Structure 1
Amino acid sequence: MILSRFNTTPDTNNKDSIDILLSQKDSNLLIAQYEYHNGTCKQEKFIFDGKKLKSITKVLESCNEQ
């Protein structure tokens, strides 16, 4: 499954972060934000080519407001 790497269920395994996926209608861009319980946030951007996600950035050490 394409999005299987992202958690979509409540934290049952003491996961360190909450995964938030951001997208817009008619866009191939997917932004993944990882909000950690200590208040930090990391972000990664992907392009969806119709079959798979391709990372277009390294994991950024902060999150931009969208």
Structure 2
Amino acid sequence: MLVAGVTGSVALLSRGLDALIGLVGRSSERLDAKLGDLARASDERRRREGRRPLNPITLD
């Protein structure tokens, strides 16, 4: 009885963690897509305004 209870609890916890990991993964993919859209919009705006890109090392 005790072993079955522990096994059930561990299985439930495992399913909960799997669901949480899936949720975080989907949220991360959505955030990546939004950041990509922002980067493309920024590049387009920079080209339209005739500005050159910043050097990420020197920020020149």
> Please, what TM-score do these two structures have when normalized by structure 2?
0.22
Quick check: which has more Rg, 1 or 2? 2
Greater helix share, structure number = 2
> Please, what TM-score do these two structures have when normalized by structure 1?
0.21
